[in-house]
Chains A and B, each alone.
Chain A
Amino acid sequence: MKSIFNLFTSVKLTIVLLIFFALSSGLGTFIPQQRSPDEYVARFGQLANVLIGLQLTKLYQSLWFIVLLCLLALNIIICTLNRLSPKFKKVFRPRLIIKTKELVALKIMTKLKINKSLDTTKKELKRELSSRHYRIKETEKEKKAFLLARKKILGWFGADVVHLGIIIILVGGIISGLGGFKKNLTFSEGEVLDIPEAGIKLRLDKFETEYYPNSSVKDWKSTLTILKKDKSVLSRVIEVNHPLSYKGFVFYQSSVEWDWTNPSVEIWIKKSKNPSFLRKIKLKVGEKVRLEYENTQIAVLYFFPDFVINERNEITTRSLQPNNPAAFIEGWQADEKILSGWIFARFPDYSRIHSNKETDFSFELKDFKTDQFSVIQVRKDPGANFIWAGCALLMLGLFLAFYWSSREIKVILEEMFGKTEITAGGVASKNKDAFQVEFKKIAANLRRLN
């Protein structure tokens, strides 16, 4: 038990754990994570079983990775606490009476002789030290005076604050992992959805997509109203990067989904022999429209947003995004089908129209319209506030550790035949060169008393 405890007080273990942690998280970036077993077999063959067995395919959620994190946490906690109590004692209950030997052993030290009485010298020294913002403690024993002058004592605790911050971040991560809640809502305008977990209902009042001049998406905006017991309590427009928070639940605009159940299309019809002929028709899928021309009727039978021919030679849609919109049309004259085929919005030249009769019609799929759903993600992440608090502590600790250099000067004054002999030594937590410069200046100013 004791030896396990000792192991965790060791910074050598920290070094081993940090290396392990870095290597294993690096490994996870070269193996695609959280895919289906088939994908791993296709990619890695025989090796796939080993990867899955060792949980390398969900490395960051794997048992061994979490154990590694816990060991690191335990190491930080035990190591920091183990050093903290002697440090507290040293900083808050310092020994004032010390031996000359201890000072002489310090790297930054000096010995002086001043031709003044002990009291005068001490007064001068104290004035000098306080003008440099040192706080002074003093005592006397056996005709010797002992001074302890310190400033920025928090600088000794920088590392501890850093480690506390890391622990709080880890705790936040655990809380997020266990207590988090996430749900995707797909809405159309005017719809009200129940969110029992939050005890509210949510209504989408308005949804719009903004575009750049080059027609790529600029932003999605949803006007949301929160309803409690069917009374509206809050109404806000949310967009990407500007979520809405309500009692711990956060509503994010995540993206858009298309409703392809009832699209309508706009088709332009031309005749090659008659350049002045142009008919623009708008119709729903399944609808038939009379052209007022040679008794012709046009119908749209199918519409696919992302037209593709799969490996089994079937025509289908690859996704629900309008990446390659295509419509299948038929033309009729009286009761006779005269043409049928696919036309493409993005590739007008690829239209494939089969005609049963001599016709010179050509078709273009100009536009399509359909309802859009706003996709809103609802999250509750009770760990998030721990994360931010931990991050703040982490930064504060780093600042203390690197830039809040704690300085300490110990002095022994002893009167000998009307003169005062001074032995002084100093320690700084950081930036020892600057401290040495200050130390020498203080000594030089004292010497001037002679």
Chain B
Amino acid sequence: MNESILFQIAFILYVISAILYFSFLFSKKENTAGIGFKFAFVGLLFHTIALILRTIECGHAPFTNMYESLSFLSWASILAYIIIEAKYKILKAGPYFILIVIALMALASSPLMPKEATPLVPALQSYWLWLHVSVTLLGEAFFAMAFITSIMYLRADLREKKNKVVKSSPSSEKLDSISYRCIAIGFPLFTLGGLIFGMIWAYKAWGRYWSWDPKETWSLITWFVFALYLHTRIVMGWKGRLSAYIAAIGFLAALFTYFGVNYLLAGLHSYG
């Protein structure tokens, strides 16, 4: 068994899980979604082994090119989904969320992504690389979950305003609160991984903890957007639609930090 076969098995399991989840959306049979959840879980196990093998094969943390980092982000997203689902039971978010994961996995397996492990340039050889990237991506996975529940909130809110009640759908209030719970997990993780571990690593490698390079700056912008979310929501009490919009913008900022900066802007972080 090598890493890429395990990766593909995980991918297939996620796809089956998505198909089951979508058939649940139409048939409304909770059983189907329950099986979908199990497939996602088993997929996660295969994926975990794939990541471990990759680490052993290349001898360093698997975060050094886009393929590895997309694979880890997909893994973290499934993990985040399983945690939130186990705690808050929102089966309806499953299909949309798994779709995001499948998009990430497809991107990772596209021929455009160089897959071979490359030797690390000196600045990247540090256990801070491991801590920095894994904690940040885990935080971003929760932001993605908040994004999905926020979009679902906006739809549920519209529906409720028109007094249409769909029995099996979670109420807008519940979605709003789950979205907040996701950010309550994602924000501290992102702060720790993205900002603090990033600064510590930069200080160890280059002797300066902050240099306004585009990736750093965009992480800070993402952080500010979520700070905005917390302040408008908790201090001013502006819940509901505004919170949902800000959470969505925050996720898009995180997405731009992740993809856009590498491909559109140049800087220290555009290694691979």
Chain A contact residues, CB within 8 Å of chain B: 11-12, 14-15, 18-19, 21-22, 25-26, 28-30, 33, 60, 173, 182, 212, 214, 216-220, 239-243, 250, 252, 254, 377, 379, 381, 384, 387-388, 391, 394-395, 398-399, 402
Contacts and interface: CB of A to CB of B under 8 A. Distances in A.
Interface stretch (B1-9, B101-109, B162-170, B214-222): B214-222
Interface in B55-97: none
Contact of B218 (A26, A60, A182, A218): A26
Contact of A212 (B119, B128, B196, B236): B119
B209 A22 contact: no
Contact of B232 (A15, A220, A402): A15
A186 B195 CA distance: 32
Contacts of B206: 252, 254
Contacts of B128: 241
B212 A394 contact: no
Interface residues of B, number: 40
Given A15-B232, A241-B204, A60 B212 contact: yes
Contacts of A173: 210
Contact of A398 (B187, B212, B221): B187
Interface string B234-246: 0110000000000
B112 interface: no
Contacts of A11: 231, 235-236
B122 A243 contact: no
A15, A214, A217, A239: most-surrounded residue (chain B CB, <10 A): A15
24 contacts: A14-B231, A18-B227, A18-B231, A19-B228, A21-B224, A22-B225, A25-B217, A25-B220, A26-B221, A28-B217, A30-B265, A219-B122, A242-B204, A252-B206, A379-B207, A379-B208, A387-B199, A388-B200, A391-B195, A391-B199, A394-B191, A398-B187, A398-B191, A402-B187
A218 to B, nearest CB: 7
A243 B123 CA distance: 12
Nearest to B234: A159
Contact of A395 (B184, B192, B220, B232): B192
Nearest to A379: B207
Interface of A (DSSP majority class): helix
B123 to A, nearest CB: 6
Given A33-B212, A379-B207, A402-B188, A217 B122 contact: yes
Contacts of A22: 221, 224-225, 228
A240 B196 contact: no
A29 B219 CA distance: 12
Contact of A250 (B207, B225, B231, B261): B207
Contacts of A212: 119
B112 to A, nearest CB: 23
A28 B204 CA distance: 25
B205 A398 contact: no
B265 A241 contact: no
B119 A29 contact: no
Contact of A381 (B125, B207, B224): B207
Nearest to B218: A29
B259 interface: no
Nearest to B206: A252
Nearest to B196: A391
Given A25-B221, A240-B122, A241-B125, A18 B228 contact: yes
A391 B235 CA distance: 23
A40 to B, nearest CB: 16
Contacts of B196: 391, 394-395
A220 B122 CA distance: 8
- The 10 residue pairs across chains A and B that have the minimum distance between CB atoms: A240-B122, A29-B214, A212-B119, A241-B126, A22-B224, A379-B207, A60-B212, A398-B188, A391-B196, A252-B207
Nearest to B227: A18
A377 B121 CA distance: 18
B203 interface: yes
Contacts of B200: 388
Contacts of B191: 394-395, 398
Interface in B128-187: 128, 184, 187
A381 B207 CA distance: 9
